[in-house]
């Protein structure tokens, strides 16, 4: 009995291995093969059952042998299935079910923030008019932020800026105008600089943030006039917004310029007809500007008899919001990727 069982097992093993190696099995027949040998009624399963009727001396050795064969067959099946899958894949690739010439799916690439991009763009526009980029610290002394800009202590104009004080004499700069002083201290006229940077004011609503960005312009030479100023900013506005954007200068006051003006652009929403955004005026304010005050030149020891200059300061967020119709300044700082990706 045990001899015939061993022979039977050997025969099943040979048969099975031969079939597995024959290369004739496909997805359907491999499953039938599995059932034939390892299924509930399968040949090997049957043998394992028969072992139960052997004597206790014969049982362990036969059991081990039968399990070995079972394991061998199971592994052989796995190998065939893996090979079938591999063949199927390369067949699909070759027969063009997958088009390998198609471009891959576009991956989203990050980019610089809208504010940074705009600063670069504006600096680039002014560079064409011969302006170089200057800079200064964000933590600034009262002297540069106010005094040297003709705004001594107790000057009412200090109230125009809700200043963050760091110490009694140090502030977070409230505007980029201190860069005017720092540049003129370092360089002799003539000079043309543009100074973008972060500024701080105690101010917070839909169009104001306690931290925002400005870009300062300063042009000093022997015969700089209000006409130069207007020509320059008009050229800028018409490059930045559109060639047909109208501008106007409206008299204003800054301690460090005389005369001073606000630069308005024709309302980008209603094209000057009047709407809620421009408060029916048809104009939107985008910059403060004017002719450099003699006291400012005196502070940096420039000869007020020989030179003149004009200066302007624009809010970057304001320009960006108008250009892209962004209703709330906070959108620019929340870093919501769905918002930022649009630019
Ligand atoms: N510094 C002024 C402000 O922040 C703007 C300005 C700059 C005005 C230069 C005139 C000349 O409001």
Q: Is the C-beta atom of 200 inside 6 A of ligand 1?
A: no
**Preceding peptide of 168 cis, ω within 30°:** no
Give 213 Cα–ligand 1 centroid separation in angstroms. Answer: 12
Give 27 Cα–ligand 1 centroid separation in angstroms. Answer: 79
Q: Is the C-beta atom of 134 inside 6 A of ligand 1?
A: no
Q: Quick one: which of 248, 212, 245 has its CA closest to 230?
A: 248
Residue nearest atom 9 of ligand 1, based on CA coordinates: 312
Q: Quick one: which of 285, 289, 240, 287 has its CA closest to 266?
A: 285
Q: Is the C-beta atom of 146 inside 6 A of ligand 1?
A: no
For the chain, the first-to-last Cα distance in angstroms comes to 84
Q: ∠ CA(244), CA(250), CA(254), 5° rounding?
A: 125
Which part of the chain has CATH 3.30.930.10? Answer: 114-340
Residue nearest atom 7 of ligand 1, based on CA coordinates: 313
- Which numbered atom of ligand 1 lies nearest the CA of 289? 10
Task: Please report which confidence band the pLDDT of residue 101 belongs to, taking 50, 70 and 90 as the band edges.
Answer: confident
* Comparison of pLDDT for 88 and 177, the residue scoring more: 177
Rounded Cα distance between 274 and 285, Å, is 14
Q: Is the C-beta atom of 312 inside 6 A of ligand 1?
A: yes
The pLDDT of residue 1 is: 47
Give 309 Cα–ligand 1 centroid separation in angstroms. Answer: 14
Domain 114-340 has CATH 1.10.10.10: no
Rg, the chain, Cα only: 41
Neighbouring C-beta atoms of residue 243, cutoff 10 Å: 7
pTM: 0.71
Q: ∠ CA(247), CA(257), CA(264), 5° rounding?
A: 15
Q: Is the C-beta atom of 311 inside 6 A of ligand 1?
A: yes
Give 117 Cα–ligand 1 centroid separation in angstroms. Answer: 22
Give 243 Cα–ligand 1 centroid separation in angstroms. Answer: 25
Q: DSSP letters of 174-238?
A: SSSTHHHHHHHHHSPSSEEEEEEEEEE-S--BTTB-SEEEEEEEEEEESS--HHHHHHHHHHHHH
Rounded Cα distance between 159 and 157, Å, is 5
Q: What is the pLDDT of residues 19-45, one digit of tens each?
A: 999 888 898 999 999 999 999 999 888
Rounded Cα distance between 93 and 78, Å, is 23
- Which numbered atom of ligand 1 lies nearest the CA of 292? 11
The pLDDT of residue 205 is: 87
Q: What is the pLDDT of residues 116-160, one digit of tens each?
A: 999 999 999 999 999 999 999 999 999 999 999 999 888 877 766
Q: Is the C-beta atom of 175 inside 6 A of ligand 1?
A: yes
Give 113 Cα–ligand 1 centroid separation in angstroms. Answer: 25
């Amino acid at each position: 009995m045990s001899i015939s069982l061993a022979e039977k097992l050997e025969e099943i093993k040979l048969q099975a291995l031969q079939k597995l190696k024959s290369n004739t099995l496909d997805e359907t027949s491999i499953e039938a093969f599995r059932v034939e040998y390892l299924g509930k009624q399968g040949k090997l399963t049957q043998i394992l059952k028969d072992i139960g009727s052997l004597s206790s001396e014969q049982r362990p050795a036969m059991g081990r042998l039968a399990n070995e064969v079972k394991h061998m067959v199971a592994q052989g099946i796995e190998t065939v299935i893996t090979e079938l899958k591999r063949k199927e894949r390369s067949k699909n690739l070759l027969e063009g079910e997958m088009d390998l010439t198609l471009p891959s799916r576009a991956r989203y690439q990050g980019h610089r923030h809208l504010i940074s991009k705009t600063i670069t763009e504006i600096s680039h526009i002014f560079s064409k008019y011969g302006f170089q980029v200057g800079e200064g610290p964000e933590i600034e002394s009262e002297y540069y932020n106010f005094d040297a800009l003709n705004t001594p202590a107790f000057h009412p104009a200090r109230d125009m800026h809700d200043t963050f004080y760091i110490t009694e004499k140090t502030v977070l700069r409230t505007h980029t105008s201190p860069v005017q002083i720092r540049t003129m201290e370092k360089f002799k006229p003539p000079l043309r600089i543009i100074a973008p940077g972060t500024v701080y004011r105690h101010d917070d609503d839909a169009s104001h943030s306690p931290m925002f960005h400005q870009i300062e312009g300063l042009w000093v030479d022997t015969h700089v006039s209000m006409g130069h100023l207007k020509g320059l900013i008009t050229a800028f506005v018409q490059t930045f917004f559109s060639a047909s954007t109208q501008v106007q200068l409206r008299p204003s006051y800054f301690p460090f310029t005389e005369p001073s003006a606000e630069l308005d652009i024709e309302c980008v929403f209603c094209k000057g007809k009047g709407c809620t955004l421009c408060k029916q005026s048809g104009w939107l304010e985008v910059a403060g500007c004017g002719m450099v005050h003699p006291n400012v030149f005196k502070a940096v020891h420039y000869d007020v008899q020989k030179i003149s200059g004009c200066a302007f300061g624009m809010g970057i967020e304001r320009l960006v919001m108008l250009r892209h119709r962004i209703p709330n300044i906070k959108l620019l700082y929340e870093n919501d990727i769905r918002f930022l990706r649009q630019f």
